[in-house]
Amino acid sequence: MSELLFNHLGGRWQAGTGAGTPLVDPVLGTELARVDATGLDLRAGFDFAREQGGRALRAMSYRERAAMLTAVVKVLQAQREAYYAIAAANSGTVKNDSAVDIDGGIYTLQTYAKLGEGLGDRRFLLDGEPARLAKEPVFQSQHVLVPTRGLALFINAFNFPSWGLWEKAAPALLSGVPVVVKPATATAWLTQQMVKDVVDAGVLPAGALSVVCGSSAGLLDALQPFDVLSFTGSAETAALIRSHPAVTQRSVRVNIEADSVNSAMLLPGEAPGSDAFDLLAKEVAREMTQKSGQKCTAIRRVFVPEALYAQAAEAIGARLAKTTVGNPRNETVRMGALVSRAQLAAVREGLAHRQAQAETLHDGSRHALVDADPAIACCVGPTLLGTREAAGSDASDRVHDTEVFGPVATLIPYRDAAHAMQLIARGQGSLVASLYGSDAGALAAAALELAPLHGRVHVVSPEVAAHHTGHGNVMPQSLHGGPGRAGGGEELGGLRALNFYHRRAAIQAGTATLAALA
């Protein structure tokens, strides 16, 4: 039997009492390690995090906690090569895709360390200016933000075992709130190893960072009223979380990131071969293949003027045809594997579901695998579907309703800008939409039209071609989340992320007392 990865809870490393769940190399099919959380005393472990970790973190200023994040960064940077090896083995990602996860997580920590340094030696935040409550300005109301007295539980998805941890943990720890992370089982190794390295380095107070690996019954049962819960995953699981007594009865604050059929739109008036046209084709191909399409922000629907449908299909397909698929250890491979056989089956099922209402413009099944056995490896080539006629865009409900979490996108023609906006809205809320064009006024108007439906609108024009950060790349300075079916949550956005981990209160007092606060 392979190595059992321990949990860290209650300030100590603990093994579960069960046989464990195997973690498997999605290319070679070999067992890498096992995880198990059976028999853990979650309530005692959570109490330790709240009482020991929370007290120690709150005793520090924002500046001191920022320095703590910087220390975490140094620990992780020292082990980067080991993390890349784990990502290739457990997630099946090529080096560039592993960098999005590993270096993206480290960069997010660095960003919040810098933001925290700017907050200085305070232990709470002022929220706005004092408001007069009486005729004379001697009695006023000042809103403040103070760290919650609970813990932050993160239930994370399988696609970003590093970034998914640190994009949540960075603002939580900076806020003074202890963290318990439950990574998705399939790719838990990287999360567990990062937590182990940080804990063993002693750069955090005891109880500030805990990890629970493997299936763990009762995780939500151990939550208390001042805890917060952040979940990334399916809408079905999100619905179960929202109906749990911890949320409905104990008012645990919840942040949800769920399904998202993100869009890319080429504005009217662009010609085939124009800068904006080529930028769209390049970004669609990149988003379809990066991390094998296993990104919550990946482009799923591509909207182009009806007259450009054939040319767009050819341009995107030509780029996809150059994508080599297979074993990430082979330097010629540009796209690795899906994370598991279960995910491979789900992608194939979702693709077939979509193909019932769309034509296949680029067939991913024609990609020969490099250094990988098709009978074992969880690899699949990128597939571009299309609806061809604008009328078909209206009739094809599956295109707008079904997210295939893999290298699959659908090209959708539209009649005019208003029609495109109607079709994009059928996604019922998404994490991100990207716009491509050269008319600044038209781009600005379209961005505002899409803003109520998305957490982020990424605008790409020729002057930012070499500088934009990418449709699917989540930057810590910008909001991550989305309304409607995307979950209604908000993460990151610079210091806005700290709001989730603080409680707002109004202090009504005389001017001298309020001056003492400031």
The residues that are catalytic are 257, 296
C-alpha to C-alpha distance for 312 and 147, rounded to whole angstroms: 50
C-alpha to C-alpha distance for 469 and 286, rounded to whole angstroms: 12
For helices 188-201 and 80-90, angle between their N-to-C axes, nearest 10 degrees: 160
Kind of pairing, strands 325-326 and 430-436?
unpaired
For residue 143, give the H/E element and its range: strand 139-147
Q: Is 154 helix (H, G, I), strand (E, B) or coil?
A: strand
Whether 72 and 106 have beta carbons less than 8 Å apart is answered as no
Strand order in the sheet with 4-5: 4-5, 31-35, 21-24
C-alpha to C-alpha distance for 282 and 166, rounded to whole angstroms: 29
C-alpha distances in angstroms, 375 versus 89, 149, 187, 350, 372?
A: 18, 51, 21, 20, 9
Nearest residue to 168 (alpha-carbon basis) of 148, 189, 158, 153: 153
Terminal-to-terminal C-alpha distance of the chain: 59
C-alpha to C-alpha distance for 32 and 428, rounded to whole angstroms: 39
Whether 407 and 364 have beta carbons less than 8 Å apart is answered as yes
Q: Is 47 helix (H, G, I), strand (E, B) or coil?
A: helix
In 10 A of CB 412, how many CB atoms? 29
For 48-116, the three-class secondary structure string (H helix, E strand, C coil) is: HHHHHHHHHHHCCCHHHHHHHHHHHHHHHHCCHHHHHHHHHHHCCCCHHHHHHHHHHHHHHHHHHHHHH
Q: Which two tokens stand for residue 194?
A: 């990062």
How open is the CA angle 81-86-92, to the nearest 5 degrees? 120
Q: Is 272 helix (H, G, I), strand (E, B) or coil?
A: coil
C-alpha distances in angstroms, 46 versus 150, 207, 215, 221?
A: 9, 9, 17, 11
